[in-house]
Structure formats: C-alpha cells, structure tokens
C-alpha cells in the first residue's frame, strides 16, 4: 500500500515537472490568435510558479519567441529609490534605472496607464536605451491593491510597431502577475 502511494507521488511529481518543462511553440496566425496563444502559455507559467522573477523571465521568453521584438522586459518599482530598476528581459543591454516620471516607462508608472508610442523620436523625454528602437509600448503591472509594482516595456525596431490592441492584450498578460507581488 505504502509502495503504491509512493509510486503515485513520484509519478504525479514527475508529470508536474514535465508540464513545467513544456516547450513553447511559435504560433502562426493573426495578431489576436498569437496573443491568445501567448496568454494561454502565460497562464500555465503563472499557475505553476509564484516567484515573480522566475515568472517574469519566462513571460519575456514567450513574448520574445512569439513576436521577436527588439527588446522585451520588465522594470520593477523600487519605491525607496523612487525609480524603476531593470528586471528580467530579452534583448540588448538596457538602462538599469529609470526615475519616477521619466521616459516612457517612468511616465507609465507615474500615470498608472499603458502608453503606446508609435515613434519614440517624437516622445518628449524618451530614454533611448537602444538606437535601434523606433516604437514602444509600456504597460503597468498592478498588484491586487491596484498599486503599480512593475512595468512591461517592449521596443520595436519598426515605426508604428504597436497599437492599443497590443496594449490591451499585454494588460491581460500583466494582470496574471497581480497576486505575485
């Protein structure tokens, strides 16, 4: 009886481990279908892990694998320093800190709203971490109390790389993090 129970525990633990190791396959389809695919995977990632950094790291990996943008990453709110500090990301070297209210990220934090920037060169105070960036979207990540705890920042090397539709899907993705702060 004990042996059977032990075997069952080992089997279930193994299955859970395999589930966590599931590969992400890039999905071909329209933008809505691609985001649904990403959101389904993101939901699985968030269901199996509560460590914020680990989850954020895999969310940037999934977004990067699906969409291949120039830069995809999180900045975390550092309340004591009144700045954002770089979190998990995929892409080239990036700015380590962004002060409250500065740049697109600091503005999204200060105003607690998503910002779509069709042309970064036309955004007053834009912080250029990469000369290759031409458009950007920044989405705040709120905790369960509605406080901004991080922002998701995505850069494209194309102009007009993002629309309000992207922001809306990315808000759904960030909402998956709200109980992990």
Q: How many residues bind ligand SME (CB under 6 A)?
A: 15
d(CA 70, CA 134): 10
Q: Taking Cα atoms as reference points, which of 86, 76, 63, 89 lies closest to residue 169?
A: 63
Residue 70 binds ligand SME (CB under 6 A): no
Establish if 126 lies at the interface with ligand SME (CB under 6 A).
yes
CA distance 27 to 2: 44
Region near ligand SME per CB under 6 A, out of 25-33, 46-54, 124-132, 173-181: 124-132
| DSSP secondary structure letters along 168-180 | HHHHHHHHTTGGG
List 127, 147, 157, 172, residue binding ligand SME (CB under 6 A): 127
The residue among 49 and 157 lying less far from ligand SME, judged by its C-beta, is 157
Contact pick of 42, 46, 76, 105 for ligand SME (by CB under 6 A): 105
* Contact pattern for ligand SME over residues 17 through 56, marking x by CB under 6 A: ----------------------------------------
Q: Which one-letter DSSP state was computed for residue 121?
A: G
- Cβ neighbours of residue 177 under 8 Å, at least 6 residues apart? 46, 52, 55, 56, 59, 141, 150
CB 135 within 8 A of CB 158: yes
Provide the minimum distance between the beta carbon of 142 and ligand SME in the complex, in angstroms, as a whole number: 18
Alpha-carbon gap, residue 6 to 160, rounded angstroms: 56
Asked if 94 touches ligand SME (CB under 6 A), the answer is yes
Q: Which residues bind ligand SME (CB under 6 A)?
A: 71, 94-95, 98, 103-106, 126-127, 129, 133, 136, 153, 155
């Amino acid at each position: 009886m004990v042996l059977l129970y032990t075997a069952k525990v080992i089997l279930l633990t193994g299955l859970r481990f395999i589930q966590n190791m599931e590969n992400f396959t890039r999905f071909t389809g329209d933008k809505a279908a691609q985001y649904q695919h990403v959101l389904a995977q993101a939901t699985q990632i968030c269901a199996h892990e509560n460590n914020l950094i680990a989850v954020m790291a895999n969310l940037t990996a999934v977004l990067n694998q699906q969409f291949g943008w120039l830069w995809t990453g999180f900045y975390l709110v550092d309340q004591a320093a009144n700045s954002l500090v770089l979190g998990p990301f995929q892409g080239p070297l990036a700015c380590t800190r962004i002060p409250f209210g500065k740049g697109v990220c600091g503005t999204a934090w200060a105003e607690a709203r998503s910002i779509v920037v069709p042309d970064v060169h036309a955004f007053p105070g834009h912080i250029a971490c990469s000369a290759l960036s031409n458009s950007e979207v920044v989405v705040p990540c709120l905790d369960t109390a509605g406080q901004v705890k991080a922002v998701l920042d995505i850069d494209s090397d194309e102009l007009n790389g993002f629309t309000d539709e992207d922001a809306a899907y990315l808000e759904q993705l960030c909402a998956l993090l709200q109980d992990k702060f």
